[in-house]
Amino acid sequence: MNVYVGNLPFETTAEELKEMFVAYGEVSTANVITDRFSGKSKGFGFVEMPDAAQAQAAIAGLAGKDIGGRPLTVSEAKPRPDGARPGGGGGGGRRGRETPPE
């Protein structure tokens, strides 16, 4: 089960995120989402746990828990709508390239 973790302190590492969940069971992966340009944390991440019961226990145990002065938001991750992709829209066509009128 994929679990969303929000309101993370910006200093939280993927390893620290994983450690929060290991107390509830096996963790396959833990990722803190970062800005593609600055590399800084966006304050949320995802944890993949193979056992749904353990994931539900982690959600119940960690939701609202104070980490670094911030109450965690923890829930089952929702799948992206079809066609959605990370990073938002396209490049916007001809921005920055002016061509003289004909």
SS3 87: coil
* C-alpha to C-alpha distance for 83 and 70, rounded to whole angstroms: 33
Mean pLDDT (whole number) for 76-81: 86
- Give the global pTM: 0.78
Q: Which CATH number fits domain 2-76: 3.20.10.10, 3.30.1310.10, 3.30.70.330, 3.30.70.100?
A: 3.30.70.330
64 DSSP 8-state letter: T
**Chain mean pLDDT for the chain:** 88
**pLDDT value at residue 80:** 76
User: Each residue of 15-57: pLDDT tens digit?
Assistant: 999 999 999 999 999 999 999 999 999 999 999 999 999 999 9
- Per domain, the residue ranges of the chain are 2-76
